[in-house]
Structure 1
Amino acid sequence: MPDSQRSELIRALPYARRYARALTGSQSRGDLLVAESLRDLVNQAPGKLSARLELYRAISRKAAVLEEEDKRPHALSFPQRLLLLTALEGLSSSQAAHILAIDESTAAKEIAEAHQTIRSVSQTSILIIEDEPIIAMGIEDLIIHCGHTVAGIAHTQNDAIALAKKTKPGLILADINLGEGGNGMKAVAEIMKSMTVPVIFVTAYPECLLTGNTVEPAFVITKPFEPLTLAIATYQAITGGVPLP
């Protein structure tokens, strides 16, 4: 593999980890899937796609193989993988179709159908942890638009811990940097000592949070995000990657 492509693969790793973690519902399984896919990819001749897209394709292929071998739980359907690639990773429908080896018209049809399904099966109560009141209000509107209820809004680390204990949310949507109010990841870590709840972290710099070197979140979305991105990430976090009905 040329050095230039190897460098491109390294730059693509944070986004590949995000895709694989959302695909499997787990940091550990997702990162292992990336590692296995990367080993397959470096032994192949360079493809026609960019290094990032080739890595997405390798991950999708490896996930399908592992599903057939029954070595990994919760492998996702094509519609869900399409949604992850287009909404979470920001690819076009044609790029996603190429990665999953289906034609573009089929991809467009399945994406449209999945849009309708995803909003109807992932409704829950969500605790928002966000230090900026205006941003928190915008997130609240998106959550309601996606069919969820708002368990509460916490602007500081201490408020988040107290609200979580009081409301027992079905999901936590947490900003990482709470300014003078503390740290969203520390708040979640404290909350997890007394309950188990799926978490989506929000950050403007996902590449800094997806290094694979420490315990990191399985679900990360990038600021700013669209309602559909939130809906998909919420579904994945709640179900752990169980296929759409």
Structure 2
Amino acid sequence: MTDASNDLAAQIGANLPYLRRYARALTGSQETGDRYAAATLEAVLADSAVLNAGENVKTGLFHAFHVVWSSAGAPLGDPDSRFSAIAQAHMITLTPGSREVLLLRSIEGFTEAEIAGIMGIDIESVAGLHEKALHEMKSTMSGRVMIIEDEAIIAMDIAAIVQEMGHDVTGIAATRTEAAALASREKPDLILADIQLADKSSGIDAVNDILARFDAIPVIFITAFPERLLTGERPEPAFLITKPYSEEQVRSAVSQAMFFSSTETLHA
């Protein structure tokens, strides 16, 4: 392979975990998301010119995915969990295109101009769909949110964002042990968790401890190490925010997690 080919392959490889994250959130199924991400890679290998539609390799890759997925009829996958089934039922109620824009902007960090190129629409439409998505997400019910984070400033910032959204914070845990104890005192409707915790314990283990005791609870991981979770192994988190995060990213992920989780345990 030439140096140029090696560089292109490296750039595609570096952005593939984020494409898979987006594909899973969009289709409501890890299996289906991975299938269309793989189909996108096949299209790129067959003709790398499809990447030229974007301003760079990442936007080109996401544009290629949208072409492949849209050409197939923008399908949802077979639910691979209870939350996937609920997510798909709720997606039907959303304005077409609004969820794509929300994910691309708030979670993946694309600009309006980049989203327009990825989706093949104009910037004005992107702005309108984003506002529509935010409005629809605000209709979610409020719930109890537990935060697992060992950095006090970050924990307080996340708590403030969550409370401003109308949710109750059950507490903040800095270690795996504290997290288990906190969940035992009050079962949360949503968990926001970092990976690396104070005593070198793992936020992933803390979450698994909690999920082993209770029915499935939606989880948002906020981490500086997304590659540790976006590995291609099952299961993967439906909601993952990369540090440093923005307030908009947290709000978007929390709204989506609340919207797509069961409302049976949420407070009206």
| Structure-2 residue corresponding to 1:221 | 241
User: Which residue, out of 183, 191, 200, partners 1:164?
Assistant: 183
Percent sequence identity over matched residues?
Answer: 38
Q: CA deviation at 1:181?
A: 5.7
Q: CA deviation at 1:210?
A: 1.5
Q: TM-score, normalised by structure 2?
A: 0.80
Equivalent residues, number? 242
Structure 2: how far apart are the matches of 1:71 and 1:141? 35
User: Which residue, out of 3, 9, 18, partners 1:6?
Assistant: 9
Structure 2: how far apart are the matches of 1:187 and 1:37? 35
Structure 1: how far apart are the matches of 2:12 and 2:23? 15
- Please state whether the residue corresponding to 1:53 is helix, strand or coil: helix
Q: In the TM superposition, what whole-angstrom CA distance separates every residue of 1:146-171 from its partner, at most 9, and x where no partner exists?
A: 23221221121112112223322111
| Structure-1 residue corresponding to 2:122 | 103
| Structure-2 residue corresponding to 1:30 | 33
Q: Is the 8 A contact 1:119 1:231 kept in 2?
A: no
Task: List alignment gaps of at least 5 residues for structure 1.
Answer: none
Q: CA RMSD in A?
A: 2.6
- Is 1:57 aligned to residue 60 of structure 2? no
Q: TM-score, normalised by structure 1?
A: 0.86
- Seen in structure 2, the aligned counterparts of structure 1 residues 215 and 70 have a Cα distance that, compared at 3 Å, is closer
| Structure-2 residue corresponding to 1:15 | 18
- Seen in structure 2, the aligned counterparts of structure 1 residues 35 and 215 have a Cα distance that, compared at 3 Å, is same
User: Which residue, out of 231, 235, 253, partners 1:233?
Assistant: 253
- Seen in structure 2, the aligned counterparts of structure 1 residues 218 and 113 have a Cα distance that, compared at 3 Å, is closer
Task: List alignment gaps of at least 5 residues for structure 2.
Answer: 80-87, 263-268
| Structure-2 residue corresponding to 1:183 | 202
Q: In the TM superposition, what whole-angstrom CA distance separates every residue of 1:111-145 from its partner, at most 9, and x where no partner exists?
A: 12322332332532211001122221111001112
Moved more, 167-176 or 210-219: 210-219
- Please state whether the residue corresponding to 2:180 is helix, strand or coil: helix
- Is 1:131 aligned to residue 150 of structure 2? yes
| Structure-1 residue corresponding to 2:85 | none
| Structure-1 residue corresponding to 2:226 | 206
